[in-house]
Amino acid sequence: MKIGFCGLGRMGVPMVRRLLQAGHEVHVWNRSPGPLGEIRAAGAQVCATPRELGDRCAWVALCLFDAAAVRDVVFGAEGLAQAGALELLIDHSSIPPAETCEFSDRLVRANGAVWLDAPVSGGTGGAAAGTLAIMAGGPADACARATPLLMAYASRVTHMGPTGCGQVTKLCNQTIVTTTVAAIAESIALARDAGVNAARLNEALAGGWADSTLLQIFVPRMTQAPGPAQATLDTMLKDLDAVAALARAQGTAMPVAAATGQSYRLASRQGLGAEDASQLIQLYERARKRPDGEEHR
């Protein structure tokens, strides 16, 4: 197929590579020129504007940071909404459900194109391996038509209901992920303060009720030297803020998520926002340090 793709960040680049490897003709646009050379060398065709992308491709996927970026790319000057060929917009960005519904209605009025909200889970590793989980909202027939294409970088596509339902499902995902990561960080701090080798927690708890993919991934990330960021603390905070806004709007009580959000906000205020989510552990590491540099016990 011919597919357009906007957003060549940590997730977008491996997703485009998977599309190219699957034999699709991929046209791309990105706000900054940094990754364009790499993607062009891999076989993608570069467009000068989102509108040009939508003029070339009937189907366009987005993978952008937030709702402001989505609004600008779709409805801004030279945006996708002005394109003549656009028929289906697949939004992999994680944005609030209310704004997804607003954007969908606005796009229909602009040119009749269908909006499929299709946020992803699985991180950069899942994107590279083609094992992402996609939770979709929008017309069921549009999801069914898009699924064969999406399977280039996903192992599962689940239609969750009308427009916005994919984003609500992603917020459920992020609630579970962020609170679990915070619980793992607290468990590591508890073990270290007791003199226990925290680096073996994932081994010791494997197969028990506390075991999970997150436990097996984040204990090593938190107890070893940090590597390149895969999902940043500020990205997690953005999603937690969206969780809080949705919960407040519909009256859902979420005390655990609310408390977790304050931990991520504190980490961001301490300059850790651009670090990998595993570096939430630094909140506890810094708390163990005395002014003389020694650790509290």
Catalytic positions, please?
Answer: 170
**CA–CA gap between residue 121 and residue 40 (Å, rounded):** 26
CB within 8 Å of 282: residues ≥ 6 apart? 267, 270, 272, 275
Residue 267 has which token pair? Answer: 């980490």
**CA–CA gap between residue 118 and residue 104 (Å, rounded):** 13
Residue linked to tokens 């993607």: 39
Instruction: Compute the radius of gyration of the chain from its Cα atoms.
Output: 20
CB within 8 Å of 188: residues ≥ 6 apart? 198, 201, 219, 222, 223, 281, 284
- In 3D space, the residue among 69, 67, 12 whose CA is nearest the CA of residue 36 turns out to be 12
Instruction: Determine contact, residues 83/97, Cβ cutoff 8 Å.
Output: no
At CA 195, angle to CA 192 and CA 198, rounded to 5?
Answer: 45
**CA–CA gap between residue 221 and residue 217 (Å, rounded):** 7
Q: For 173-184, b where at least 16 C-beta lie within 10 A, e where not — what string? A: bbbebbbbbbbb
**CA–CA gap between residue 174 and residue 238 (Å, rounded):** 10
